[in-house]
Amino acid sequence: MFTEFSYFSHPPTMRLHVTLVLLCVLFPKALALKCYQCIPELYKSCKETQTDCPDQCASKTIFMNVDGEKQEMHTKSCAEAEQCVTGSLNLGFIKMTVNSECCSSDLCNSQKVPVLPQGSPNGKKCYTCTDKDCSETVSCEGDQDRCITAAVNSGGVQLTMKGCGSKDLCAGDALSMKEAGLIGDVSCCEGNLCNSAKC
């Protein structure tokens, strides 16, 4: 037989317990999410720790090929939705991929994510820069469907970098571009050679 439950007819300790259970069920985001954190400096290894995150956990692998010299960096950290990007970049002498996996349960970012496979030329071309000459072109690969122009400050010198990039990297936040090595004003456009040969 069904017995009616009256919240106020029970002792204060039971009412407190019921209230806490309801808070946990109805407001799970109010509780801190535990995530692994490991952020190496300049492609060195790091010590993995645990931290509280407000939104999501992330595991990310960045791969760079700079004039044939290849480097991999694996990071684990907190992330917001716009930081969970996967994509690639081709600036001529620099090719880079970012592969991110985000999740929202405690310590769910324990695994390293694999390096994104290199894409084949997709027929699109964008302008690229060598020193101060931005009239050369580069062939876009895989998911690279945008042309990128970035004004980068390197050691007090203003440089212009151009090339191909994927939609996800262009739509991501400034931190994603920073991880891609682009610190400064970044703009993306659609269309073959839309990023202009001018520096």
How do the pLDDT tens digits run along the chain, 199 residues long? Answer: 444 444 445 555 554 454 444 444 444 444 589 999 998 876 567 788 999 999 899 999 989 898 889 988 889 999 888 788 889 999 998 898 999 999 999 999 999 999 998 889 999 999 999 878 899 999 999 999 999 998 777 667 778 889 999 988 887 655 556 665 566 678 899 999 999 878 6
SS3 of residue 144 by DSSP: strand
pLDDT at 22: 45
Nearest to 150 by CA among 117, 118, 127: 127
Nearest to 46 by CA among 69, 71, 70, 77: 77
CATH (domain of 180): 2.10.60.10
CA–CA dist 69, 151 (Å, integer): 24
Buried b (16+ CB within 10 A) or exposed e, 141-157: bbbbbbbbbbeeeeeee
The torsion angles phi and psi of 147, rounded to 5 degrees, stand at -105, 140
Residue 21 within any structural domain of the chain:
no
Residues with Cβ within 8 Å of residue 116, at least 6 apart in sequence: 61, 63, 86, 88, 97, 98, 99
Domains in the chain, number:
1
Residue 6 within any structural domain of the chain:
no
Measured CA to CA in angstroms, residue 59 lies from 47, 74, 103, 166 at distances of: 14, 7, 9, 20
Residue 197 within any structural domain of the chain:
no
Q: Print the domain residue range for 37.
A: 33-189
Residues in the chain, total: 199
pLDDT at 41: 72
Residue 131 within any structural domain of the chain:
yes
CA–CA dist 110, 134 (Å, integer): 42
Cβ proximity of 90 and 141 under 8 Å? yes
Nearest to 87 by CA among 117, 110, 108: 117
Residue 62 within any structural domain of the chain:
yes
pLDDT at 61: 92
Residue 198 within any structural domain of the chain:
no
Residue 129 within any structural domain of the chain:
yes
Nearest to 141 by CA among 155, 153, 124: 124
Token digits of residue 75:
């990071």
Residue 176 within any structural domain of the chain:
yes
pLDDT at 44: 66
